[in-house]
Amino acid sequence: MIRSLLPLSALLLGSAFLLFAGGINGLILPVRGESEGFSAASLGLLGTGWALGYVAGCLRTPALVARVGHIRAFGSLCALAAIAVLLSLLLISPYVWVPVRALSGFCFAGAAMIVESWLNERADAKSRGKVFGIYTMVNLAASTAGQMVLILGDARGFFFFVLAAIIYCLALLPTAMSATSTPKPLTNVSLDLKGLWVNSPIALFAVFMVGISNSSFGTMAAVYAARLGLPITEVALFVSIAILAGAVMQVPVGIASDKMDRRWVLIGMGVLALIADALFIFIAADTAAVLLPLSAVFGAAVFSMYPIIVAHANDHAAPGTFIQVSGGLLLVFGIGSIIGPTIAGFAMSSLGEFSLFLTTGAAHVMLVLFAAVRIKLKAAPEHKGSFQAAPMARVSTPETVAMAAEEAELQGQDREGYPADEREPQG
């Protein structure tokens, strides 16, 4: 196993640097913006800018790579990401930070796609599943470490901005100096809302709501914790523990969703998320002893929903177009991610920090109600594929989907694609 990973070490290292820098960048901006007196609405727009850039990067990077090649495109995107971080330090204003954050999202998505394309092509059939699992763990560890590194210094200085820029530059070195061959062109994914709705109305609606909820929390959780008076160490823990709990929760959720109607599991996670929403609103706790366990419960619920939705959509899909279904859902998640932080930011500016969980709670109520209606209208499929754990949708790209598709085909689990348009909507 170690021998098979050695040729891929440069790619895994480049991805780790990319996620580490992204973790720093994603947390330092709301924390520093809060200390600078930015409004919650303007900080919410940072998340909107990121999501806009990220979706654009997923859609436009294949054309960029086709024009200039993988290595040049990757180096350019990493350099632009470093420039974006430094611009945020030089020009401390929400009017600058929002478009610069969009640039960061574009660069991050594009660079991640290129690494994943390379990784997918270099992994052989026997080791692809293990490589994909290791890649997912490396990214989770690197992203969490990037967030946690903020406990080592003062967010009001320049150190973390410069550190993130340095790490972005380091990310381009392993691939630039590697002797690996250039991979095939990147995966193109188009957005077909009609096809997604025909395939599974609940998947389309739920992934949009999860995009609103998860992006609202991902962008504004640090602001919420800082406004409650938590020190930077506990702010970083508050954000990170939710992501880690979501990753761990995918194991029992996957087992349950393979044994029963996935929609009931999705409802169960939605109800658990609503309980956490309500506790955040009504307990009004301001100590880490209460807030950290609540964050873990919330993260366990919300960050395990996306793979359930993807698995349910592919249970209804015809063979051969896993990428169209899963990639389309990823883009719809991205659209929800554009909307969520804006709503949460303006709500927090008008009503107070607790309204972050009014925003996420509203999304979870609508998700649960719609899923309950669909269960009443449509029976569960007789045959299902196996649940596959997935990286956070916020850092997934169409190439992540392509990697998962390759592994599903190898395991004979490919229940993919769209049914014909004339068929009635599925689950």
- Pick from 59-73, 259-273, 363-377, 406-420: least confident: 406-420
pLDDT the model gives residue 154: 77
Evaluate whether 360 touches 242 at the Cβ level (below 8 Å).
no
From CA 27, how far away is CA 196, in angstroms rounded?
33
Evaluate whether 266 touches 308 at the Cβ level (below 8 Å).
yes
Q: What is the mean pLDDT of residues 58-75?
A: 85
- Pick from 6-10, 11-15, 78-82, 349-353: least confident: 6-10
Averaged confidence pLDDT in the chain: 82
pLDDT the model gives residue 6: 53
Choose among 20, 305, 300: nearest CA to 141: 20
pLDDT the model gives residue 385: 57
Tally the C-alpha atoms within 13 A of residue 54's C-alpha that lie toward its C-beta. Answer: 29
Q: Which residues contact 252 (CB under 8 A, 6 or more apart)?
A: none
CA dihedral 113, 117, 119, 125 (to 10 degrees): 140
pLDDT over 70 (residue 392) = no
The total number of residues shown for the chain amounts to 427
Q: What is the mean pLDDT of residues 209-234?
A: 90
Domain boundary assignment for the chain: 1-186, 187-427
Q: Do domains 1-186 and 187-427 have the same CATH topology?
A: yes
From CA 78, how far away is CA 272, in angstroms rounded?
38
Tokens at 298, concatenated:
């919330």
Q: What angle do CA 172, 174, 178 make, to 5 degrees?
A: 120
Alpha-carbon 349 to chain mean position: 25
> Which amino acid does the sequence have at 37?
G
pLDDT over 80 (residue 367) = yes
pLDDT over 80 (residue 214) = yes
- Pick from 35-44, 177-186, 209-218, 283-292: least confident: 177-186
Q: Assign 357 a pLDDT band (cuts: 50, 70, 90).
A: very high
Tally the C-alpha atoms within 13 A of residue 156's C-alpha that lie toward its C-beta. Answer: 5
Evaluate whether 370 touches 309 at the Cβ level (below 8 Å).
no
Alpha-carbon 408 to chain mean position: 21
CATH superfamily of 1-186: MFS general substrate transporter like domains (1.20.1250.20)
pLDDT the model gives residue 64: 87
Alpha-carbon 266 to chain mean position: 18
Domain 187-427 -> CATH class: mainly alpha
pLDDT over 90 (residue 320) = no
From CA 117, how far away is CA 386, in angstroms rounded?
24
